[in-house]
Every structure is written in C-alpha cells, then in structure tokens.
Structure 1
C-alpha cells in the first residue's frame, strides 16, 4: 500500500506536498476486493494531503464550473499528458450485454487512451454495476458514467423501472409529478454509480411527420414543453444528477432523422428565437447543467454548406455560449450519427466540434483518430492548447462536484431491490392516472354500465394472449375475450368481425409492436379495416396504447362511441384506462399534440372527480 501512495504521489502531487505525506493504516472492505479499493484511495487526495483548503461543494454545477480550480483539479490536471487532456473530453459507448471481447475493447480505450467517460446502453443492472467498478478501477481519472435515459434506467436495462416517454408526460397537468419522476430517476442513477442523464428532450414537436422526436417530446406547446422540461431537470439536478437538455437548437420540426441523414432546418432566426429556442433559454436561466447540440444544418444561423450545427462556431460559441450565455457543459450528439458522418470523416468531425465550442464529444467512431486530428488542429492554430486545457479543467471540476474526487465502488448488495422500489411504482401509477385522455364519449358511453343481458366482448389487436387491460375489464363485467394479430389477413379479420357483430358492446384495445411507442404500428390493411368497422359500429369503446400520432393510421376512428388515449402499454396505463372506462377514475389527461383535424392540442374530456362513486 505504501507503493500505491508513492506511485500516486509521483503522478499527481507536487514535490513540496509529497514530502509531507503520511502513510496511514488502511483497511480494505470493498465489495469488489482490494484492487478496487486501492484505486478508490489512489483517486482521492483528501486521505493523505495535509494542510490544504477543504473542497466545499458549490450549490450547482454552473457555480462549480465558474469557481477557481481546486487542489484536486489542479493536481490531476498536472498529472495528465496533452493526449490525456484531450481524452478527458471523450465519452465512449458501453454495453453490459455484449460479452467479454466487447468489454475488453472498452477496457483498452480506458487504459490506453484515458477516456473521460462512458455512456451505457443496453444490458442489465448488476452486470453494468460490476463493469463500472472494473472500469473505474482501471481508469487513471474517475470516469463520468452517463446514460441516454429519457424514461429512466428501464429504457436501457432489463429488470428495472421504465417511466413514461415524454409525450405521455405531456398529457399530465401536474408538473409536480414529473419533478417526482426526475427525482426518482436521479436516485436510480446514483445507485448505479451514474452521473449524467441525457434528458430532458426540450424539443417542441410540431411536425406530425417527425421520425425521431415525436413521442419523445412533451408536445407542441412551448410553455408546456418548457414547464415540463424544467420539472424533469430540477427533479434530477436537485438530487445530484447532471441533466442535459437536448437537442439544441431544436429538433422538433423536421421530417428527417439525424441518425441517418443531415436534417435541414430552413426557419428564420426570428422563428427559431420565438419557438425552438424558448425552452433552452428558460432552462439556461434556471441552471441546467448540460446541453446537447444536434446534428442539423440551419442555413439562417450558419450558411456553410452541409455543416451540422454541432460543428458550427456561430451556433455553439456564438448562439449558445455568447448570446444565450450558457455556462454549463456542452455535449455533442453522438458522433457516430449520419447527420455528422455523411460529410465529415472521423477525427475531422471531432476536431471541428471542439473548435465550434463543444466541451465533450460523445460516442465516437474512432478514439485514436479523434485525438490525432485534434492535436493537428492545435498544431495548425485552429484550436489553442489553452482552450483544450480549459475544457479539461471544466470536466475535472464537474467530476469533483459529482464527488468523483472521493470515488467509491458501487455496492452490489440488494441492487435489484433498490432499483425497483414501491415509490417508483406509485410514481408510475400516479403518472398513468393523470395522463390517460378521454377523447370521445358519445351518448355517455363512459362510464360503461351493462344490464344483465348485455353481451360484451373485448378484443386486443397486436396480441397473442389477452392483455392486462382485458383482464381488468373482465374483473368488472362478464366478457368474452379475443385477440388478433396486427398483421391479420382478410380471412382472419372477417372471421373475427362476424363473431364481434353478435355482441352489444365491444371493448377494443390497440397495441403497437412493443412497450415503446411507434411511429408506424404496422397494422395490415385488413386489420385497420376491422378497426374502422368497429369504430363506426356505434358500440365500440376503443383505447390506443401507443403514440398519439398513430391515431391517423385508423380511418374513421373519430366516429367511435368512446375513444381513450393511453399513450403506452404500461401496466399502470392499462389499469388506469380500465378504471376510467368504468368511471372509477376522473379523466384528467389533455392531448399534448395536434394529430389531425379531429384531434387537436388540448383535447380531452375532463372531470375533476370520478364519473361514478368508487367501490
């Protein structure tokens, strides 16, 4: 252990301090063993550096970034080579379900290049936590651990809680519920040793054909999007997680997916200023820690041919940093996306991104190429060493603010239980009950009341077995339950229609291909025609458990006796929809987007109390 202290002292401590170091007895208790604990101690100067001013954590990340360098920041910075200072500005992707060869490649990038952080994608919570402990133990400087988790860690990890996508949250009137969700997401992040969430989506989705934002946005109204973005951001940041608002300067009004091409945003500066930029401006005023810049070409802001906003000095340095006075961390969107790689080679793109004003490069194609190209940009004078050093110091300040100067490994014990709490469950239930939206209720079809001889069928589209919703309905009234594929052929659809025609009431549930909302539900012409027949039969209650924009995929659905918008097929959404069907819950949700001429922003038949008394 004395060797560990000597090694760290040679790398980090100034000679005048090293001579004062005192070796203390150390007792190792880490769940990952002595090696991890040694790394933990090696990364903390607080244990063995006497006579220095203690670090006092700033009230916010923005404040921390504006403060003078602390001893820890200064000493770690001085231990880094020029290449390692560049690498601190790089976040690489990591999965916990790709096996040993993949994990070894991630470890190689950590050990050889000293990258600054990881962004996790698919996997499992225990596997990820164990990997994080190994990666942190191997890293010269503690790693940022981040995730693109707009709906919480369940968006990426199995056996964890998934909260609603933002379109469903957009239907909720009470932003306090969204704050609670943000706070719960923060606790789950911290339990997994993570620090940065690339959320909220602050885009205003006012283009029904948008293939990439859509249900990921809170809606089309700038005030609603701003209020809900602030609630989500504050819930996370008040509880110690850096929120990163995206996709600056606004990705809501495009029909091109920047994962596959470079969208062109043709709007004037006045239009952008009054609409797209509005949420970002307010989030900046209220202290958002990070902003992610999108890959979009915006000629009115920078006319350089085929230049993504990520690589544009007028947009990043000019608009975001100078005009909007953003003082936090600026992240690029993933540098593997076609929106940037279509016109710029790996390496060149990353160098241009830093020149434009970004602080942190996320998800690179090639780390060594990026470092080489950035060094060449410095040699050419396109980027100064001083600018790079300042960015590195800002990264280190953020790491210290997050507590990484006293890094501790993740405790694996009870991890699954800690990530699946009763509070998370109740938060999800409250959100579902507040979001479900009643769009039609002709002739007071809801609350559904049946007489003794009334015959009722339920039918679930897109299922192999009856859904939770159908089971909830069956608990209230006697039903005959049917299911049918979204890909049903004419013979199957006609046979089911013949059966359903004999019932007095048909309760219909429409599902997409997964728990995640979809832009295209993939219904066959015959299945969609069966939905149309039911909608015009004057006896159907239809509930869509998917993207609100998908209402357009069902001709004449507006003619249904009753129509409920439930947004996603979460268990609690299905339960809430059933309770609204029978009048046990008040209908409180409001449509957050305009779908077509039949369904507009703000639609929703609301009652401030249940339609009938509860049991």
Structure 2
C-alpha cells in the first residue's frame, strides 16, 4: 500500500513538472505543436514571412490612421502590432478589431517600462522611472511592480512588454537611456531587472530585455544616428552584457537588439549590432545560449537605416538571426526583398521556417488561438484601481534618497516662519500645497526656470524675514534630463541659498545636481528623482517627519554624491 501511495505521489509530481515545463516559455516555443504546424501549413511564403513583422498603431491620430493600419494587417497578414499613444478604451476597441481581422492572431506589444503610462500617460498609472526604482533597497517591491504592470497589460489585451531596460547607465550624458536605467552598478541593475522581469513573466506576459548588448555608455541617440562603442569584448562581457547574461539564465522570454556599432564584436564598417550575425546569432544565441524571441529595436530609426536603406536593413536583420522586426519602414517591400534573398541563398529557408514557427508557438503559449475580446466595461476603473495607486506611492516613498541633513531636518519647527520656494514651475506645486497644511507660518514663492534678476531680487529680499527656507527644484521637461534648464541667474541664486542653510529637495534626475555648482553646501539635500505628484508627496512626507528615507543613490553624480549614498 505504501509503495502505491509513493507511486501516486511520484506520478503526480512528475505530471506537475511536465506541465510546468510545457508552460515554460522558452522551452515551449522551441517544441513541436500541432496547432503551430496546422497554421504554418495554411500560410503561403509571403504570409509566413509576414509573421515576423510588427506594425505601429495609434488611437490618437484619427480614424483614417486606424483604418489604414487595419488595411495593412488584413492585406499583408502581419504578425503583430506595437501600441503607441491613445486612450485605453480606444486601444481595447482597436485591438478587438485588429484581432478579429487577423487570420492568425496578433502579438500585441507596448513599450511599458513604467507601465501603460509610458504610452497612455493621461489615463493610466505611470510607475516610477527605472532610475528611481534603482534607489529602492527592497527588490520584492520591484517584483510586485512587475505583477501590477502585467495585470494592466493583460487587462488591455497586451501580451508583450518591451521591458525591462537592463542597460547600465554609466554615462551621465546618455540622451536615450539615462533615467530609463536602474543605474550604473551591474549587480543592482541585474537584481532589479530580474525582479521586474519575473513579476511580469509570472503573470503570463512576454518580456523583452533591452537594449542588447548594452546602450548605457553612449552620448548618441540611436533614433537619430548610429552610436559607436569602442569597448573591448572583455569590457562588454564584464559590464554591459552581464545583466543580459544573468537574466537569460533566469529564463528571459525575449531580448531586443539595439542599433549600435561595436567594432570589437563585428568590425564591418557602420554595421549596427541589430544587423550583425556575429552579435545576434554568434553572441546572443550561441554564446549566451538564448533561445527565446529576438526582437530588433525599431527598424525605422536612423541608427539602422542610415547606412542600409530601401529595405536592405530588413533583409540583413533576418540574416543576422532576429525573430521579429519591429516597425519596418515598409513591411511590404521588406517581405518581397526577403523572399528574393531566400531565392539568392542569402537567407536559409529552413532556418527561417523555424523562426516563423517560434513566433506562432509564442501565440499558442499565450492561448491566442482562443482569443477572447477585451471587455471595455469598467476598463478605465480597472486600470486606475486604488490598490495600484497606493502601491505606486509606496514605490515613491521607498525611493526617496537623503544625501545630507537627517539631523538637521529633525530640528525643523512647524511653528517657525517658513518660506517654501518651488523653482522651475509656473504655479504653486503639489509639494507646497501639502506643506501648507502643517507649517503654521508658511509663505510660498515661485520662480520660473528663466526668472529675471529683478524677480530673484524680490524673492531674496522677502526671504530675510523667514527662519526656515525649503527649496524644491523641479524639472519641467517631460522626461528628466541630466541638466536642469535653469538660466544662470537662477543657478547663482540656488548656490547662494545653499550657502545660507537652505534645505533642498530635487524633483529631478539625480545627475542634475552636477549642473548646480554650490548646492553641495546645503545642510539638507534630498533626491526625489522625478517631478510628479507621488514623488512630491513622498518628499513632503520627509519634511513633515512622516517618512524615513531608505533610498540609495543608483548613480555617481560627482565627487560629492556617489553611488550608494543615502542616509
């Protein structure tokens, strides 16, 4: 009897392991499936190749644009769509329409590095940028964020997130990664990236790590030109490639290849990494043993089409070993050229068939063969649920980083005459509104980023009557850059205030501290990473002694403020 019980337990355990293995994405898409074979056989040569393309789609560009994409999907039978700006209900209606048009169900992707809010900022939740997340010391919070983001994506009908970014940003001048990175330390980037990835994958979302083999140390934006990285292979292995290697070992489902020229990996002149067989096949697939989906970065970027025009970039991307081409300039032309390249033996027909079947298997893994329309009732409420908003505030609270002034803050008095100055904005800030409720004798001042000398003199004169001065520095840009666009008058005023025991909170990229000489003299400096209400609320709570700071600086700013600093 005992042996029978043990056998039943063993069989049950074996069955669970088999089921788990069958649902493991990378294992699954490299297996044979009847549904995949059946669909593949029904497609002609052109339709099979079309499965490897994703087209851009918006819902904020008018009905004619939506209809034009519908025609392309129906006529060319493309494999997927990539969502950009619009509204959630309109997006859901669009996805339902396009899925209904498609003979083979569509992959639906989005760049959701900080959630749906990256593309739908006015109607969905934006979680903190990865630079702020890099300051958080509890990685279980990053995992939970991955879960929350995945829930939002699935509710909208999205099944692929082009995230997380695991580029190591060790170049403050980087114009394209920067605040989108977890920071400069490879271990911190790897740990945060793993947590975020596993949170999403655990909820059934396909992820795509980006931007392989590492876009962090460049001051050229690949949207507009081809960056060149003159680093040795050993340097790349030890730094840039390190997070990708570790996350691939953890089962990453996708990797996006960047448009970078890296002579140590491929010395072909002006060849982007996305078009290099040495990078995509030899390095990523063979050396790092990656068997998931390989995505190109957008194929309409200057970094890839500058030197390979008129569809040649698309052909070379397939030759290199990519599985899915994102945003070809002309998918119809590219399809025709790829078929020609097959006839000329530039592309191996059998190898291409394997990639098409991998894409179809990904759709089968997602159960898109049984696609159910997205329900738009309560969609907005579901995507803006109170529990997610509370969690978002928790992330902000845990990221706030105090560089100086823990003891000084404790000496603040709520009854003293207090001046609160917001610089870089045009109206009273949310931060000021919160402090106004607790400081009895407070007056708010505002200075724009281009304040005149007369305006500064007027504020400076008034400050003589105050016992405490709190200054909030705001970045008015849509994305937090490395430099605050303050004029010289304002910068000089900030330096003067710092020398007069004023207390600072910076609602901006931490790199901006380097552009404010003299600020290091302030007795209190708090970094709040970005200029939004959750960060302003967190910053206010620090001054009200309602929040103990836990964040650590994820990047080195200068000799005064270094990686890991935080009280």
TM over 0.5: yes
Does residue 311 (structure 1) correspond to residue 272 (structure 2)? The answer is: no
Does residue 548 (structure 1) correspond to residue 503 (structure 2)? The answer is: no
Q: Which moved more, 1:430-439 or 1:519-528?
A: 519-528
Q: Which moved more, 1:481-490 or 1:157-166?
A: 481-490
Aligned equivalents of 2:557 and 2:165: distance in 1? 20
Structure 2 counterpart of 1:356, from 309, 316, 320: 320
Aligned equivalents of 1:576 and 1:340: distance in 2? 41
Structure 1 counterpart of 2:524, from 562, 574, 577: 562
Does residue 203 (structure 1) correspond to residue 137 (structure 2)? The answer is: no
Equivalence for 1:392: 356
Which digits, 9 at most, give the CA deviation of each residue in 1:470-526, with x for residues without a partner?
A: 111112112101112112122222222222233221111111124532234311111
User: Aligned in 2, Cα 1:56/1:531: closer, same or farther, shift over 3 Å?
Assistant: closer
Aligned equivalents of 1:195 and 1:244: distance in 2? 11
Structure 2 counterpart of 1:103, from 57, 66, 69: 66
Equivalence for 2:428: 466
Aligned equivalents of 2:20 and 2:461: distance in 1? 73
Which digits, 9 at most, give the CA deviation of each residue in 1:283-324, with x for residues without a partner?
A: 010000000000000001100000000000011000000000
Does residue 578 (structure 1) correspond to residue 558 (structure 2)? The answer is: no
Residue 207 of structure 1 deviates from its aligned partner by: 1.1
Does residue 521 (structure 1) correspond to residue 487 (structure 2)? The answer is: no
Structure 2 counterpart of 1:215, from 167, 179, 183: 179
Equivalence for 1:325: 289
User: Aligned in 2, Cα 1:498/1:398: closer, same or farther, shift over 3 Å?
Assistant: same
Aligned equivalents of 2:475 and 2:70: distance in 1? 38
Task: Verify the 8 A CA contact 1:236 1:243 in the aligned structure 2.
Answer: yes
Matches within 5 A, 1:112-261: 112-157=75-120, 158-261=122-225
Aligned equivalents of 1:412 and 1:214: distance in 2? 36
Residue 214 of structure 1 deviates from its aligned partner by: 0.8
Structure 2 counterpart of 1:595, from 551, 557, 560: 557
| Corresponding residue SS for 1:292 | strand
Aligned equivalents of 1:376 and 1:504: distance in 2? 77
Equivalence for 2:8: none
Q: Which moved more, 1:101-110 or 1:219-228?
A: 101-110
Residue 59 of structure 1 deviates from its aligned partner by: 2.5
- 5+ residue gaps, structure 2, are 1-18
Aligned equivalents of 1:58 and 1:528: distance in 2? 59
Does residue 90 (structure 1) correspond to residue 24 (structure 2)? The answer is: no
Residue 357 of structure 1 deviates from its aligned partner by: 0.5
Aligned equivalents of 1:464 and 1:449: distance in 2? 27
Equivalence for 1:75: 38
Which digits, 9 at most, give the CA deviation of each residue in 1:222-259, with x for residues without a partner?
A: 10000000000000000000111000001111111111
Residue 449 of structure 1 deviates from its aligned partner by: 2.3
Aligned equivalents of 2:60 and 2:53: distance in 1? 22
Equivalence for 2:255: 291
Task: Verify the 8 A CA contact 1:89 1:361 in the aligned structure 2.
Answer: yes
Residue 172 of structure 1 deviates from its aligned partner by: 0.1
Equivalence for 1:13: none
| Corresponding residue SS for 1:219 | coil
Aligned equivalents of 2:386 and 2:540: distance in 1? 22
Aligned equivalents of 1:124 and 1:344: distance in 2? 35
Aligned equivalents of 2:253 and 2:22: distance in 1? 13
Matched residues, number: 547
Aligned equivalents of 1:599 and 1:482: distance in 2? 28
After the TM superposition, list the runs of 4 or more consecutive aligned residues in structure 1 that deviate by more than 6 angstroms: none
Question: What is the TM-score normalised by the length of structure 1?
Answer: 0.87
User: Aligned in 2, Cα 1:96/1:448: closer, same or farther, shift over 3 Å?
Assistant: farther
Matches within 5 A, 1:340-489: 340-441=304-405, 444-450=407-413, 452=415, 454-478=416-440, 479-489=442-452
Matches within 5 A, 1:495-514: 495-514=458-477
- 5+ residue gaps, structure 1, are 1-54, 606-615
Aligned equivalents of 2:413 and 2:76: distance in 1? 69
Residue 584 of structure 1 deviates from its aligned partner by: 1.9
Which digits, 9 at most, give the CA deviation of each residue in 1:372-421, with x for residues without a partner?
A: 11112111101022122111110000001011010111000000011011
Aligned equivalents of 1:385 and 1:112: distance in 2? 23
Q: CA-atom RMSD, angstroms? A: 1.4
Aligned equivalents of 2:473 and 2:410: distance in 1? 20
Aligned equivalents of 2:443 and 2:255: distance in 1? 51
Residue 448 of structure 1 deviates from its aligned partner by: 4.9
Aligned equivalents of 1:552 and 1:209: distance in 2? 11
Residue 447 of structure 1 deviates from its aligned partner by: 2.5
User: Aligned in 2, Cα 1:304/1:94: closer, same or farther, shift over 3 Å?
Assistant: same
